[in-house]
Structure 1
Amino acid sequence: MKLDRFDRQLLNLVQEDATQTAERLAEKVGLSPSAIQRRLRRLREEGVIVRDCAVLDPKKAGRPTFFVVSVQVERERPELLAQLREWLAAQEHVQQAFYVTGEADFVLIIAAHDTETYDALMARMVQENPHVRRFTTNVALSVVKRGLTIPIPEETDD
């Protein structure tokens, strides 16, 4: 899907705050509210916008602990990797999972209420995915920045 200048502006604005009204977005982008609504609908239908969500303040939402985990698997057999990917995607405490290059095969961001919850999750991961060779854990001491915004350049060379 080709994104024009208006689409790119709109994507940056809704990533910043998805609760903005079509009227407010129209003022910022320079289109009519109905054109904004059509574009947003198209961007959702085309899968550019996957979902709208609320970003919570961890301190006010129960103070979860964040764990950054590197996971190594024994063999990179496609069916075993697919099984682990599905397992990770189904876990509510796994916020993000990346298949990566380097020493680790996966890097995970996990939010858990406490270390016991984290420990139980990792024990299940190893038990239900026996091809996981090892994992290393870093505990986040504080959150410096957290987000999912993807910078969209408003102008392109196309």
Structure 2
Amino acid sequence: MAGTKLDAIDRRILAALQEDAHTTMERLAEIVGLSPSPCARRVRQLEAAGVIKRYVAVVDQDKVGLPISVFASIRLERQREDELDRFAKAISRWPEIVECYLMTGQRDYLLRIVVKDLPAYEAFLKRTLTRLEGVASIESSFALSQVKHSQALPVE
């Protein structure tokens, strides 16, 4: 796995696990065309190499009472390394922020924030983002509906 060279079987394993990580090793082996022992060995190698980071349950945000997704574009006053690090460390503490990307272009960061309603976002904005030192501007956009959402990478 050094250099993360993936062959066709590795890619089939990854595609199958991305579809259902709860599948049995026997079923996974059947899907990818191996016997269970070599399949399990391949999965362990993918895990050891960091290709498979972890296994998680994908939770429906509507069903847990967090139907609102807000995309916040953040521009910092300065883009020095220490300022970027301070911002990244600060936002990592807040569970409402489920995704954060350092961006190119006019904004420095793009955040995806999930909340139960608009008053909850307003409270989050006022008590957290607007209080961060070094933030020059915040522009919020609200998702009307989710057209596509996938955790699966196109490995095949």
TM normalised by structure 1 equals 0.88
Aligned structure 1 segments of 4 or more residues deviating by more than 4 angstroms: none
Per the TM alignment, residue 59 of structure 1 is displaced from its structure 2 partner at its CA by 2.8
Check whether the contact 2:66–2:117 (CA below 8 A) recurs between aligned residues: no
Give aligned pairs, total: 152
Letter in 2 for 1:114: D
Q: Deviations over 1:51-71 (max 9, x none)?
A: 211112233222421101111
Q: Distance in 1 between matches of 2:124 and 2:50?
A: 31
Decide which of 11, 26, 30 is 1:8's aligned counterpart: 11
1:125 maps to 2:129 = yes
Letter in 2 for 1:52: Y
Q: Secondary structure of the residue that 2:141 maps to in structure 1?
A: strand
Q: How do residues 18-97 of structure 1 correspond to structure 2 at under 5 angstroms?
A: 18-97=21-100
TM normalised by structure 2 equals 0.89
Per the TM alignment, residue 149 of structure 1 is displaced from its structure 2 partner at its CA by 1.6
Equivalent residue number for residue 147 of structure 1: 150
Q: Deviations over 1:107-150 (max 9, x none)?
A: 111111222332233231231x2111111111111111122221
Q: Distance in 1 between matches of 2:41 and 2:86?
A: 38
Q: Secondary structure of the residue that 1:53 maps to in structure 2?
A: coil
Give me the CA root mean square deviation. 1.5
Decide which of 93, 103, 116 is 2:119's aligned counterpart: 116
Structure 1 unaligned spans of 5+: 154-158
Equivalent residue number for residue 135 of structure 1: 138
Structure 2 unaligned spans of 5+: none
Q: Distance in 1 between matches of 2:104 and 2:139?
A: 16
Q: Deviations over 1:21-53 (max 9, x none)?
A: 111111110111122222222212221111211
Check whether the contact 2:98–2:113 (CA below 8 A) recurs between aligned residues: yes
